[in-house]
Structure formats: structure tokens, C-alpha cells
């Protein structure tokens, strides 16, 4: 890229899986910073994460070195997270929120809003109860920004999930903005 004068804006770690689960994740981040600083000092480094590994100090410290920590929080309720995200590990949402708060604003929260059913269970993280608890969590975490979006492609088998209308996403964003937190909406 350097030889052809191509300059990346962002070097992003994401993909089919959780990037922070790689056994060498902290070293990968350290090496990425060295390479970035040498070849593309203006490029940012970003990590898209489901947030489940931030309980590990070495992961948390590595994330604090990157420019953009984009960490998921789709609900403030354990059951909703279990249905919505289907994590392969047991996630205690109160512990997760406390760990996100521990990043002291050095993060962007990303939330996927959807409605429907999955394997016979109703899921809707836009109800007043869901939104109230989620906004309380956002207020506690104090992220630098919140990214709000909805599904944009087919959902897994066993589900009848639906996009949340853009107007509803904008309404949710205005509630976050009322907390004094920058919000980005995609839908």
C-alpha cells in the first residue's frame, strides 16, 4: 500500500468471530501500532468487539491502546442478551456494564435494535422497559459515542426478526443525545 500511495483511514479488527479471543490479541495490537506508526501514522486502529473479553486485564489494556473501541451492548437485561446475541460464554450484564464503565469513556457503544421472534421466543429491545434500562446503562458507561443500527440482511434460521424503522432509531438516538452523548444512526 505504501509503495502505491494507498493510505488506509482505519485498520479494523473484526470479522467472523471475536477478535479479542485470539490468544495473541494484545501482541497483535502492539505490533499493529508499531507498523501503523511507521507506515501510516494518520491511520486509526479500531476493534469491533462483542465486549465479553473485557473482563481480562490484558484485553482491556490492549483495547485502551487503540483509537476506536467499538463494543457491543444490545440490552441491559441478561435474558435479552442471551436471546439476542447467543453468546458462547455466560454473560452477566451487570458485570459487563461495570467493565464497560471501567473504560472511562474510551469506547464507542454499538447497539443492534430488532424486533421479532427467535426459536419461539419474543425479542424486542425497543420496548419502554428495555430502552429505560439500556439508557441507564449508557448513562453509567458514558461512552464517547453510541452507534445505533438495525438488521440489514437475512437472520438465522429459527427466527422471524424484523428491522426497526429508521424513525424509531432516530427517536432512540435523540434520547441518547439528551444524555449529552454523540450518536450515529444507520438503518
Tens digits of per-residue pLDDT, 130-154?
999 999 999 999 999 999 999 886 5
Query: pLDDT at position 155, please?
Result: 59
**Extents of the domains making up the chain:** 1-70, 73-187
Residue 99 has pLDDT above 90, yes or no: yes
When pLDDT is cut at 50, 70 and 90, the band that residue 160 belongs to is confident
- pTM attached to this predicted model: 0.90
**Alpha-carbon distances of 159 from 93, 103, 162, rounded to whole Å:** 23, 34, 9
- Top mean pLDDT of 100-104, 161-165, 169-173 is at 169-173
Question: Is pLDDT at 156 greater than 60 in this prediction?
Answer: no
| pLDDT number for residue 121 | 83
Q: Which residue has the cell 429459527?
A: 158
CA R_g for the chain: 17
Number of residues written out for the chain: 187
| Nearest by Cα to 75 from 103, 54, 50, 57 | 50
Quote the crossing angle between the two packed helices 128-141 and 93-101, to the nearest 10°: 30
pLDDT value for 154: 58
User: Worst-scoring range by mean pLDDT, 124-133, 149-158, 169-178?
Assistant: 149-158
CA distance 145 to 82: 24
What is the per-residue pLDDT across 7-66, written as a single tens digit (0 to 9) for each?
A: 899 999 997 778 999 999 999 999 999 999 999 999 999 999 989 888 899 999 999 999
73-187: CATH number: 3.20.20.70
Confidence of residue 162 (pLDDT cuts 50, 70, 90): confident
The pLDDT of residue 128: 97
Amino acid at each position: 500500500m505504501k509503495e502505491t500511495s494507498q493510505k488506509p483511514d482505519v485498520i479494523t479488527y473484526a470479522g467472523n468471530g471475536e477478535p479479542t479471543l485470539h490468544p495473541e490479541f494484545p501482541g497483535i495490537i502492539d505490533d499493529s501500532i508499531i507498523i501503523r506508526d511507521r507506515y501510516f501514522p494518520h491511520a486509526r486502529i479500531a476493534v469491533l468487539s462483542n465486549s465479553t473479553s473485557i473482563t481480562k486485564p490484558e484485553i482491556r489494556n490492549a483495547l485502551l491502546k487503540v483509537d476506536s473501541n467499538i463494543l457491543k451492548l444490545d440490552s441491559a437485561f441478561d435474558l435479552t442478551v442471551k436471546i439476542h446475541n447467543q453468546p458462547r460464554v455466560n454473560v452477566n450484564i451487570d458485570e459487563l456494564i461495570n467493565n464497560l464503565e471501567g473504560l472511562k469513556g474510551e469506547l464507542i457503544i454499538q447497539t443492534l435494535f430488532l424486533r421479532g421472534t427467535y426459536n419461539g421466543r419474543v425479542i424486542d429491545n425497543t420496548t419502554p422497559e428495555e430502552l429505560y434500562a439500556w439508557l441507564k446503562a449508557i448513562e453509567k458507561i458514558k461512552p464517547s459515542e453510541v452507534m445505533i443500527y438495525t438488521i440489514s440482511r437475512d437472520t438465522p434460521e429459527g427466527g422471524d426478526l424484523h428491522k426497526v424503522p429508521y424513525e424509531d432509531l432516530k427517536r432512540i438516538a435523540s434520547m441518547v443525545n439528551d444524555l449529552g452523548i454523540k450518536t450515529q444512526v444507520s438503518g
